[in-house]
Structure 1
C-alpha cells in the first residue's frame, strides 16, 4: 500500500500540472487528455498489481527458488513491463476515462488486465 501511495503521489502532481498549464478546451482534446491520464494511472497500478499477483503464482514461486534476488528482480521487471505494454490492447477508451476519474473502477480494470496478460508474459519471459 505504501508503494502504491508513493507511486500515486507523483501522478497527483502531474494531474495538478495539467490544470495549471491550461489543457485543451475542446471535448476531443479533453477526452484525449483524460485517456492519456487514465492510461498513465492504469500502467502505474498495473505494475503494482502485477508484482503482487506474480508473487502469488505457484509457478513463479517454484521458478524463483533457484534465482538470485537480482535475477528475480530483473525477470519480474520484464514480466510486469510486458503486462503494462499489453494493457492498451485490453482496455477501451471508456475504461481509460473511467480509470482517470474513479479509483474503484481503476482497481477493477487493473485486476482484469493483469489477469488476462500475466500468464502470457510469464511464458514469454521464461522461454
Structure 2
C-alpha cells in the first residue's frame, strides 16, 4: 500500500500545482477585469466633468439642443473610455481595483492623454 501511495505522490503533486497555477491565473484575470471596469466608469465620469468645465465646450455647445450636446458628449467620453486600455498598464489596473486614490490618479492621466484626440474625432464626424 505504501508503494502505491509513493507512486501516486508525484502525480498528485503535479495535479495540485496545475490547479494552483490555474487559480492564480484566473484570479489575476478577474482582478484585471474588475480594475478595467472600475477605470472605465471613473474615466467616463471624469470625462463628462472635464468637458462641462472646459470654456471651449461651454461656448461651442451654447447653440446646441440638450440632445445634440448629450450625443456629442457620449461620443467623446465613449471614445475616451475605449482608448483607456491603450494608456493603462496591467499593474495600474490591479492597483486601481484596490486603491481609490491610485484610481483617481490613473483616471486623470488617461483622460488628459486621450480627451483631445477624441474631441477631434467627434468634431470631424
TM-score, scaled relative to structure 2: 0.80
**Candidates 107, 112, 116, aligned match of 1:115:** 112
- Structure with larger Rg: 2
**Alignment partner of 1:77 is 2:63:** no
Kindly report structure 1 stretches of 4+ aligned residues shifted beyond 2 Å.
none
TM-score by length of 1: 0.79
| Structural RMSD (CA) | 1.3
Give structure 1 stretches of 5+ with no counterpart. 1-23
Name 2:35's counterpart in structure 1: 38
Residue 93 of structure 2 aligns with which residue?
Answer: 96
- Indicate the SS of the match to 1:66: coil
Count of matched residue positions in the alignment of Structure 1 and Structure 2: 104
